[in-house]
Structure 1
Amino acid sequence: MELNEAVSLWLAYRRWKRQRRRENRMYLVHPILHDRMTHSMFETLYPKLRQHEKKSFNYFRMSVKSFDDLLLLIGEDLLPRANYVPREDVVSPEQKLVITLRYLATGCYFADLHYAYRLGKSTVIDIVQKTVYVIWNKLKDKYSNERTFDRRVDGNCKRIRKIYTFS
């Protein structure tokens, strides 16, 4: 079997599997996720955490002021595109940051965040990936120093050469 035939068969199998999975879905949106606007951690716990600095720091590993500063810095980049039709159930930049910081602070499973914040698992994964990307792009120039990194790498290379006498 040639490579082209193998790739074609594999793509056809993936397409068939994806269609079969869609046909077997019972719900468009699962009933547990329907009450996100009233029962999610963002709606119930987050407002209370903002009132208590120590608990908020324990939950996010960040002060409320730092959270607000970070949100101010990256919030605009987390908004939906300009051509997006506004809806009331769109995930806000604040909620995206809350989910991402909780993931970074605890390293919990995406499934845990999926149930806690009443969002789809793939949505949570997408939110965390995009938010971390935005945070990195906004803060890398301010907090990442290439010269320090280069010196560290050069020092490590010299130590390795000295130990193993490569040169």
Structure 2
Amino acid sequence: MDNNRSELNQIVLLLAIECVAKLMRDKKKRRRVWVRDWISRREDFGASSCLLKEMRQEDPDGYRNHLRMLTEKFDELLGKIVDKITKNDTHMRNAIPATTKLEITLRFLATGDSFVSLEALYRVGKSTI
């Protein structure tokens, strides 16, 4: 009788181990993408890295109109807050630069653009904004 119970306990234990192993395998398969492909190209095509750099150099009035701030004032404001809003890069993804964060904030305050619009322009997820 004890022998049968011992064998039954071993079978139950093996089944439990197999179930846990299967759950762990399934969980690994369901990984989510951290950054969507088009957002990951922010450094190449985002407004901060393309449009605003060009406007800053070639069209200061357009830059001022876009952010409602002169380039000198933008640099001054960024210098005051850069330490507070800068994050570290991780092995999973690069942090959003402080410049981009400030540009998004100023654009939102200046125009009231929707997060979806800002997401497309700056290539930053709307939940991140």
Q: Give the gaps of 5 or more residues in structure 1.
A: 1-22, 125-167
SS of corresponding position for 1:97? helix
Matched, 1:75 2:77: no
- Judging changes above 3 Å, is the alpha-carbon distance between structure 1 residues 53 and 85 closer, same or farther for their aligned structure 2 residues? closer
Distance 1:40 1:85 in 2: 18
Q: Would the aligned equivalents of 2:48 and 2:122 in 1 still touch at CA under 8 Å? A: yes
Bigger mean CA deviation after superposition, 100-109 or 51-60:
51-60
Q: TM-score, normalised by structure 1?
A: 0.53
Matched, 1:116 2:121: yes
Q: Would the aligned equivalents of 1:40 and 1:118 in 2 still touch at CA under 8 Å? A: yes
Q: Deviations over 1:15-53 (max 9, x none)?
A: xxxxxxxx7x97443222121121111111011121122
Q: Give the gaps of 5 or more residues in structure 2.
A: 1-29
Matched, 1:89 2:89: no
4+ residue runs of structure 1 moved beyond 3 angstroms?
25-28, 84-88
Taking the TM superposition and a 5 Å limit, the aligned residue runs for 1:16-95 are 27-51=33-57, 52-80=59-87, 84=88, 86=90, 89-95=94-100
Is the helix fraction higher in 1 or 2?
1
Higher relative contact order (CA 8 A, sep 6+): 2
Q: Would the aligned equivalents of 1:37 and 1:89 in 2 still touch at CA under 8 Å? A: no
- Judging changes above 3 Å, is the alpha-carbon distance between structure 1 residues 53 and 32 closer, same or farther for their aligned structure 2 residues? same
- Judging changes above 3 Å, is the alpha-carbon distance between structure 1 residues 108 and 65 closer, same or farther for their aligned structure 2 residues? same
SS of corresponding position for 1:113? helix
SS of corresponding position for 1:103? helix
Pairwise CA RMSD: 2.2
Distance 1:117 1:28 in 2: 17
- Judging changes above 3 Å, is the alpha-carbon distance between structure 1 residues 76 and 26 closer, same or farther for their aligned structure 2 residues? closer
Q: TM-score, normalised by structure 2?
A: 0.67
Distance 1:86 1:29 in 2: 13
Distance 1:76 1:108 in 2: 26
Instruction: Indicate the percent of aligned positions where both proteins have the same amino acid.
Output: 33
